[in-house]
Structures are given as structure tokens and as C-alpha cells.
């Protein structure tokens, strides 16, 4: 006959935690390196590996040094990268047309990586902000307003150029209405039926992007992105963004940022059968480093706890700058 325990002293939960073997036996494992995508910044030039002051441990790479760095993370078991192009003001125009140049820095990086490391899965960020002179994710009308529908064709051009260069997956991040459908249709019509589409489906207008914007030189020259990125105060619309992208042909969905939005990740995981990615963004990365540098916490413990929280919330794919330090911070 079973006994109903009222609690202490019959029930002592410390018995389950009394040594490392028991703790490890009962714990959920951290995700392996195969679950991670490393976001990287690529610039024009040769022999460049420029440290990012706002993101210690991360760099801007030229194509040749990126190929070398990719080999190093590949040896850890990290076999996926997401590429962001960083260009100077001379490359930027109101329409961002350098973004779809076949000789663009992203396109060249994709080709070089696929030649050097054919087994890598290469994701590319599809947006206009890195290439527009105004820094917005869509084109502007005469009054300076970001206009949605004319931007879709340009985003599709960027995605097609990345697919032509050999990208395995394109990841639209502009948060224009209908961007997923426009890109999916363009890929299908051009014969790129196997190119994956990872949608930044719920991307919030967040305060956590500052280090990234410094790294990518992509801050808007005026205004902000609140008219097109999701409002973090509006749960229902944030969910609808992802569900609409699923209906438009996305293969994978994404929540960005990650740590402040564990509830969204959990809800989305319950609402879709598609893989759910979480982008562990630059502000989250730099926040933990700053905490450790001030002696307020151990970096390895902080990183492992944060990644564990993302896993517990239901994350399938971890887009994270910690990927390049997997062996040091996350390997069991």
C-alpha cells in the first residue's frame, strides 16, 4: 500500500542532490554543439580579424579569416553559421542594392565556406538595414516612412542572391508584412525549392540589440524600428506574427531576443510543429560578460544556466554567440 507523505522528515529532497552523480543523473542535459548556430560578421578585405569592443570574444572577419574561424568551431561540433554582412558607407544606398550583388561580401563568404567546409549549414541574414544609407530594414518613401510592399521585392532579391551563392537557409529579419511569402515564392520560381527559410517570425523592438548595431554598423540614422518590429507589450500579435509566417511557407520560426522572452518561446513551441529557434542576442551575450567582469557571477555558470533556460522553454535551435566558445563554456 502506498504511503501519503506529509513532507519533512519523510520527504527529504536533498537526498536527490547529495552528490554530483545523482545530480547529473536527474538533470536535463544541456544542448549539444549540433544544436547551435554561430552568428558571424563578415567584412570586405583580406586578413581581417577585428575585435568587437561591445562583444568581447567576437570579431569582424574578412572572408579568408572567417573560413579559418569556421574550421575551428567546426572542430568543436558547431556546424552551422549565420552570416551578417558589414559594409562601409560607400556601399550603402537608399535601396540597399549592394545587398543582392553576386559579388557582395555575404555571397563571397557563403561560396568560400561551402568550398572549404561542405558539411557546414550556412544561414544568411536577409535584411536591408546593413546596406541602406538610412539604416532601416525597408525602403523609405518621400516622407521618410518605411514602406512595406516595395521592400518585399528587394528582400526577395537578397534571398535569391544568397541561395545562388550556395546558402542552405535564408533568414529574413526585416519584419515586413508578407516577407516570408514573397521570399518563398521567389525561391520556388527560381528553382531553389530546397533552400530553407528560417523566419525571424517574432522579432521584438528590443533594447537588447545595441552591441549588434555597433558591430554591424546598422543603426537607423533617424527614428526607430518600432513601426515594424513586434511590440514586446503585445503577446497576441507577437504570436500571430509567427503563426502567419508558418502559413506563408517558413520552415523554421524564431523568437528574438531570447532570454527576456522565454514565455513566448514556450507558447510558440506549444502552437507549432515547426522547429523553434531562439536568437540569444548581442545584448544578452554582453550582459553576462559584463556581469562576470565585475565579479558579480561566474561566466561559465551564467552561460550554462541561461542556455538551460532556453532549452527548458522549448528551443530547438540556438542562435548564439556562445557557440564559438562551446568547448570552454558549455561542453560537459
CATH number at residue 120: 3.20.20.70
> For residue 138, is it within any domain?
yes
Q: Which residues of the chain have pLDDT under 50?
A: 1
**Annotation says 92 is catalytic:** no
Cell 528574438 locates to: 256
Cα–Cα distance for residue pair 183/114, rounded to 1 Å: 22
> For residue 15, is it within any domain?
no
> For residue 192, is it within any domain?
yes
pLDDT at 2: 57
> For residue 3, is it within any domain?
no
pLDDT at 5: 63
Contact 147, 94 (CB under 8 A): no
Tens digits of per-residue pLDDT, 84-107? 999 999 999 999 999 999 999 999
> For residue 79, is it within any domain?
yes
Catalytically annotated residue among 92, 203, 269, 300: 203
Give the structural domain span for 175: 30-329
Q: Where are the alpha helices (DSSP H) in the chain?
A: 20-26, 63-75, 105-116, 149-165, 179-189, 210-216, 235-247, 262-271, 282-293, 299-313, 326-329
Q: What is the pTM of this model?
A: 0.94
> For residue 159, is it within any domain?
yes
How many domains are there within the chain? 1
pLDDT at 217: 73
**Annotation says 49 is catalytic:** no
> For residue 17, is it within any domain?
no
Burial class (CB in 10 A: 0-12, 13-18, 19+), 309: middle
Cα–Cα distance for residue pair 127/138, rounded to 1 Å: 8
Catalytically annotated residue among 35, 79, 157, 256: 256
> For residue 190, is it within any domain?
yes
Amino acid at each position: 500500500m502506498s504511503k501519503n507523505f506529509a513532507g519533512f522528515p519523510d520527504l527529504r529532497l536533498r537526498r536527490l542532490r547529495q552528490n554530483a552523480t545523482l545530480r547529473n543523473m536527474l538533470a536535463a542535459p544541456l544542448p549539444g554543439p549540433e544544436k547551435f548556430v554561430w552568428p558571424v560578421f563578415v567584412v570586405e578585405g583580406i586578413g581581417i580579424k577585428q575585435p568587437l569592443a561591445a562583444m568581447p570574444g567576437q570579431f569582424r572577419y574578412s572572408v579568408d579569416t572567417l573560413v579559418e574561424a569556421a574550421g575551428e568551431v567546426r572542430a568543436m561540433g558547431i556546424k552551422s553559421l549565420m552570416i551578417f554582412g558589414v559594409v562601409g558607407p560607400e556601399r550603402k544606398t537608399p535601396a540597399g542594392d549592394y545587398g543582392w550583388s553576386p559579388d557582395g561580401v555575404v555571397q563571397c563568404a557563403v561560396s568560400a565556406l561551402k568550398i572549404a567546409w561542405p558539411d557546414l549549414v550556412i544561414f544568411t541574414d536577409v535584411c536591408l538595414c546593413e546596406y541602406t544609407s538610412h539604416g532601416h530594414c525597408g525602403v523609405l518613401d518621400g516622407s521618410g516612412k518605411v514602406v512595406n510592399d516595395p521592400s518585399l521585392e528587394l528582400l526577395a532579391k537578397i534571398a535569391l542572391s544568397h541561395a545562388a551563392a550556395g546558402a542552405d537557409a535564408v533568414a529574413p529579419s526585416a519584419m515586413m508584412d508578407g516577407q516570408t511569402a514573397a521570399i518563398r515564392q521567389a525561391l520556388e520560381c527560381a528553382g531553389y525549392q530546397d533552400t530553407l527559410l528560417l523566419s525571424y517570425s517574432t522579432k521584438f523592438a528590443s533594447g537588447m540589440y545595441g552591441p549588434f548595431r555597433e558591430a554591424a554598423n546598422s543603426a537607423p540614422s533617424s527614428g526607430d524600428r518600432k513601426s515594424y518590429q513586434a511590440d514586446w507589450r503585445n503577446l497576441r500579435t507577437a504570436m500571430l506574427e509567427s503563426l502567419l509566417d508558418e502559413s506563408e511557407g517558413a520552415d523554421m520560426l524564431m523568437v528574438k531576443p531570447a532570454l527576456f522572452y522565454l514565455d513566448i518561446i514556450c507558447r510558440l513551441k506549444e502552437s507549432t510543429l515547426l522547429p523553434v529557434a531562439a536568437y540569444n542576442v548581442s545584448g544578452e551575450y554582453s550582459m553576462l560578460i559584463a556581469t562576470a567582469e565585475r565579479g558579480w557571477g561566474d561566466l561559465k555558470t551564467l552561460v550554462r544556466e541561461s542556455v538551460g533556460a532556453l532549452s527548458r522553454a522549448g528551443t530547438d535551435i540556438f542562435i548564439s554567440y556562445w557557440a564559438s566558445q562551446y568547448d570552454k563554456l558549455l561542453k560537459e
